[in-house]
């Protein structure tokens, strides 16, 4: 039987995404996240998040995303597939450029697993949470479980670029939605790893 790049098969998420035991297991989970508060509801913001990838791309740094896909293809990865099953709808298992949809909970959460070649495993998460005073908080968090020193060097080398791109994405998402930013974009404080036995 013929297969297609959109075929998911069985999606097997990395155990660390759900278990949170990387410290216990001796791993180092790195993360980088930003948040904005928009004068909007989750239902007003969600459609823009659900359209990420494919022809829409990522709202900011399109050339950089495409370059990343080209570099991935050059090292034997899947590259920037430049497509998605549906322009607006997402389901678990969907291929989304060089991502795979792990979880989708409209209008609250989208979790993507990186399928490009990396010295580690990565996910990108978007969450929408209503703010009691009014509006909605949009969070974008990248998490990375590096493989060895190469993975750690990759993360810290790319971090300044990721900071710039992620801030830009959140501002661009607000523009696409047509809603005012009332806070941010600002970094999400990162939890400090606890030493073993603490």
- What's the burial of 191, exposed, middle or buried (CB within 10 Å: 0-12/13-18/19+)? exposed
CATH number for the domain that contains residue 67: 3.30.530.20
The most distant pair of C-alpha atoms in the chain lies apart, rounded to whole Å, by: 54
Pairwise CA distance, residues 88 & 95, whole Å: 13
Whether residue 10 lies inside any domain: the answer is no
Would you say residue 22 lies in a domain?
A: no
Q: Please report how the helices 148-177 and 42-50 are oriented relative to each other, as an axis angle in degrees rounded to 10.
A: 120
Q: Which residue has the tokens 């989304």?
A: 96
Q: What is the pLDDT along the chain (198 residues), one digit of tens a residue?
A: 344 444 445 566 666 565 554 444 446 789 999 999 999 999 999 999 999 988 888 889 888 888 888 888 888 877 777 677 887 889 998 988 888 999 999 999 999 999 888 999 999 999 999 999 889 999 999 999 999 999 999 999 999 999 999 999 999 999 999 999 999 999 998 764 444 344
Asked if residue 7 is part of any domain, the answer here is: no
Q: pTM of the predicted model, to two decimals?
A: 0.83
**Does the residue 15 lie in any domain?**
no
Residue-range definition of the domain harbouring residue 61: 28-187
Q: For the chain, what is the domain count? A: 1
Please report whether residue 179 resides in a domain: yes
Contacts of 157 (CB under 8 A, 6+ apart): none
Alpha helices (runs of H) in 79-147, residue ranges in sequence order = none
Q: Report if residue 18 sits inside a domain.
A: no
């Amino acid at each position: 039987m013929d297969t297609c790049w959109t075929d998911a098969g069985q999606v097997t998420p990395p155990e660390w995404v759900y278990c949170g035991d990387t410290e216990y297991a001796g791993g180092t989970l790195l993360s980088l996240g930003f948040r904005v508060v928009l004068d909007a509801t989750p239902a007003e913001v969600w459609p823009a998040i659900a359209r990420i990838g494919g022809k829409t791309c990522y709202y900011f740094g399109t050339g950089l995303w495409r370059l990343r896909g080209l570099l991935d293809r050059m090292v034997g990865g899947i590259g920037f597939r430049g497509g998605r099953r549906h322009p607006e709808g997402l389901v678990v298992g969907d291929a989304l450029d060089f991502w795979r949809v792990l979880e989708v909970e409209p209008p609250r959460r989208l979790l993507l697993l990186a399928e490009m070649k990396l010295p580690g495993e990565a996910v990108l998460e978007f969450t929408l949470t209503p703010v009691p005073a009014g509006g909605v908080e949009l969070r974008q968090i990248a998490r990375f479980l590096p493989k060895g020193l190469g993975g750690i060097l990759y993360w810290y080398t790319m971090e300044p670029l990721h900071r710039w791109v992620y801030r830009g994405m959140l501002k661009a998402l607000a523009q696409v939605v047509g809603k005012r930013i009332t806070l941010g974009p600002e970094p999400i404080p990162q939890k400090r790893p606890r030493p073993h036995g603490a």
